[in-house]
Structure 1
Amino acid sequence: MVSACLLGQKCKYNGGDNYSEKLSSFLEGQEVISVCPEVAGGLPVPRTPCEIVNGVVLSQDGESKDKEFREGAAICLKLALEQQIDMAILQSRSPTCGTNQIYDGTFTGHLVKGSGIFASMLKAHGVKVVDVEDI
């Protein structure tokens, strides 16, 4: 399973992607399931940036998006478990897919140790989660 933005899908909050040629080469010959939990949760593209603030996902303008993030993550987790994936390669620093670090909730670009909502759910279910920067 791979974050859709890493495969070139324009699903990032700003309407862009995080395409990784290195990842694309790494995945050659592999069966890949592409997911964007934020879009699966009903969020539009583009959308206001979000960060985790005291355990709750908030947009930069202070609106809770926690329900959408958690519902989208649950949908993608269900797919991961149904498909019995052996690994998930996720986008760094994202409040959904961040694996090793996430933004600290101040919207200042400061990073802290931690995982996004979807990455945390996968880990809790024993799925191997890899940060794309570790590929």
Structure 2
Amino acid sequence: MLKIAMTSVFVDDEERAHAFYTDVLGFETRTHIDLGEAQFITVGAPGQDVELLLEPGDSPIARQYTKGLRDAGLPCIVFGVDDLRAEYERLRGLGVTFTQEPTEQGPVLTAILDDTVGNLIQLAQPLS
């Protein structure tokens, strides 16, 4: 059986991304290796095996991809939450900018935030 082990998001500053994803969003550092001109940094949610690679986004393809998503207002990834309204208030209290406040979309409640390093992130909570 296949399972997701790692996925990535392109970021325009790996160290700033690492601080945001750990200090603000609450992920834990799984790997942090200095490769000279770049870093290999993965984070993950406590208690989950899946890792998120904070991928350098300085290639032309990455810049075009992230710009296209942002221009369309589309999130690059979705994170699940148990209580979206509480998480929205917690993150707003930490200065996080949201481009979409909590909104019911059929069977889910969603919100979209700016991760400060080039991406929009969607938070989602099932309503049933």
User: What TM-score bracket applies, with the shorter chain setting the length?
Assistant: under 0.3
Q: TM-score if structure 2 supplies the norm length?
A: 0.27
More strand by share: 2
Q: Larger C-alpha radius of gyration, 1 or 2?
A: 2
